Amino acid sequence: MKIAARDIMTTGFHTLTPETPVNEAIKLFKQANQEEGRKIFGMMVTDNDGHLIGMISMYDILIYMRPKHIHIWGVMDDIDVAGIIDVACEKTKSILVGDIMTPDVITITPQTHIFMIMDIMIKKHIRRLPVIEDGKIMGIVYISNLFYDLLERFADE
């Protein structure tokens, strides 16, 4: 019976280093999508010793790309400034994964009960939780892992 993180976690995962420029990270997201055969919306960031130091999600990158004053000019239908998107993309070259990642990461252990995982994801509005044991990354639980587990339970009925 699957009852804990270790039973449902994904053990094949990709990580990023904090020194990776954000534009490179976006390419690595694409590569990880292909290699894992699933849509990857967030990756763990590790230091040289493989310890977890943060997470970077698609959302972090989108927040950074969002123009600061968009609420002012987003409503104008007659803007004609060429190349705004190119300028925003250019800025991702000089900013690093470590600069915009979320450093405070909630983690679970292999023993964490799946209902506990469900509760954390709902309360904290997060969709992925790294699984850590003795300081080492054992895997990651995606919100989809929880749902696929449910699907299996119903299929067995």
- Give the interface with other proteins as residue ranges (CB under 8 A): 60, 63-64, 67-69, 71-73, 75-76, 78-79, 81, 84, 87-88, 91, 94-96, 98-104
- Which of 68, 156 has the CB closer to other proteins? 68
- Which of 61, 108 has the CB closer to other proteins? 61
Give least dist CB 11 to other proteins, A.
28
Burial track 36-45 (b if 16+ CB lie within 10 A, e otherwise): eeeebebbbb
Give least dist CB 12 to other proteins, A.
28
- Which of 59, 148 has the CB closer to other proteins? 59
